[in-house]
């Protein structure tokens, strides 16, 4: 369990950052746990997996991709008739590999779809660091498109710097701004593209704090606002009337030694209503967010058949 704790700490400290990287790190850690398992029988093996799952789930509240991935992989072991621990380990490792390669294929496909829609000469505004969004922009650049990017620094943890570095390393002309300059710069952009941490049954998108304000600014400036994300960021619990929880991070990230009397808040994410979003660029094409429930039922029906869909208890958004 030490390796699981180490991964959990890295996720909490942002050493692993972004929904996709978080899910990948969690899946790989579960694989490692299975490979090193000393469980004597299936019950013990499943108990170890479930303890690891809880530790990883507790790292970040707003990460349905990680929850969906671990549910999917553990459910396969749980539902199998195999009793031999060694064979169960193989089942888990193979299942996890398959999940990771499908996730990879889905990002590549998403990037191809999105890149086709980037026109020469445009300026794209983005926020925070989404590996899915940066992959799409890099793909467009590799396809020979010339465009500019404006990215926010993304307080308090400055993940926008990761985006800015990645963009210039790929030869994309990039302008870097403080978050509060968004209103000045969105009118200069042609479109806004952000990633997602969670997508709800209603088609609302949860992403890094500040995203919903950008969507409203884009709406006022009459600039299209797109989300680029794997469909598996969809959170099935939102189909059962639960709200997506919003991770509240340590206030010290905002102000290290703030006055004791001061109430410093640090919500990691906010919710952008689907009405501000022109479309979701995903592995199945560019889809209207209001169609999420039907699309998920069609392509990922297993999401609704998880053995423990209520493991994660949601809180109300702030």
Contacting ligand RUB (CB under 6 A), which of 130, 174, 238, 274?
Answer: 130
Q: What's the CA dihedral at 244, 247, 15, 208 to 10 degrees?
A: 70
Answer whether 137's CB lies under 8 Å from 167's CB: yes
Minimum CB separation of residue 10 from ligand RUB in Å reads 12
Pairing of the two strands 279-282 and 148-152: unpaired
33 touches ligand RUB by CB under 6 A: no
197 touches ligand RUB by CB under 6 A: yes
Stretch 247-306 residues interacting with ligand RUB (CB under 6 A): 268
Pairing of the two strands 279-282 and 205-208: unpaired
19 touches ligand RUB by CB under 6 A: yes
166 touches ligand RUB by CB under 6 A: no
Q: Measuring CA to CA, which residue among 210, 233, 20 is closest to residue 130?
A: 20
Instruction: Measure the CA–CA gap between 255 and 265, rounded to whole angstroms.
Output: 10
Give the binding range for ligand RUB (CB under 6 A) out of 90-98, 124-132, 176-184, 237-245.
Answer: 124-132
Minimum CB separation of residue 159 from ligand RUB in Å reads 4
**Dihedrals phi, psi of 41, to nearest 5 degrees:** -150, 175
Contacting ligand RUB (CB under 6 A), which of 18, 114, 210, 245?
Answer: 18
Could you list the active site residues?
Answer: 128, 197
Answer whether 74's CB lies under 8 Å from 50's CB: yes
| Residue nearer to ligand RUB on the CB measure, 48 or 272 | 272
What residues line the site for ligand RUB (CB under 6 A)? Answer: 17-21, 128-132, 159, 195-197, 207-208, 268
């Amino acid at each position: 369990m030490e390796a699981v704790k180490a991964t959990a700490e890295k996720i909490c400290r942002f050493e692993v950052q972004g929904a996709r990287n978080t899910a990948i790190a969690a899946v790989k850690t579960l694989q490692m746990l299975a490979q090193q398992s000393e469980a004597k029988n299936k019950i013990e093996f499943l108990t170890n997996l479930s303890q690891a799952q809880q530790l990883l789930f507790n790292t970040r509240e707003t990460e349905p991709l990680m929850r969906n991935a671990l549910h999917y992989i553990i459910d396969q072991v749980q539902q199998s008739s195999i009793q031999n621990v060694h064979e169960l380990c193989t089942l888990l490792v193979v299942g996890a590999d398959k999940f990771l390669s499908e996730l990879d294929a889905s990002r590549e496909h998403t990037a191809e779809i999105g890149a086709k829609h980037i026109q020469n000469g445009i300026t794209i505004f983005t926020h925070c660091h989404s590996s899915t969004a940066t992959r799409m922009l890099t793909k467009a650049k590799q396809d020979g498109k010339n465009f500019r990017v404006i990215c926010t620094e993304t307080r308090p943890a400055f993940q926008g710097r990761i985006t800015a570095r990645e963009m210039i390393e790929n030869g994309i002309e990039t302008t870097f701004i403080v978050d509060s300059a968004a209103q000045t710069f969105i009118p200069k952009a042609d479109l806004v593209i952000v990633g997602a941490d969670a997508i709800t049954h209603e088609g609302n998108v949860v992403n890094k704090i500040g995203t919903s304000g950008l969507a409203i600014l884009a709406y006022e400036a009459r600039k299209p606002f797109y989300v680029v994300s794997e469909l598996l960021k969809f959170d099935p619990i939102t189909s059962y009337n639960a709200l997506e929880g919003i991770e509240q991070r340590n206030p010290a990230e905002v102000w290290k030694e703030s006055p004791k009397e001061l109430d410093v808040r640090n919500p990691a994410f906010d919710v952008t209503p689907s009405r501000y979003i022109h479309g979701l660029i995903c592995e199945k094409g560019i889809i209207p967010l209001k169609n999420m429930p039907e699309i998920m039922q069609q392509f990922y029906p297993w999401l609704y058949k998880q053995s423990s869909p209520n493991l994660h208890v949601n809180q109300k958004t702030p």
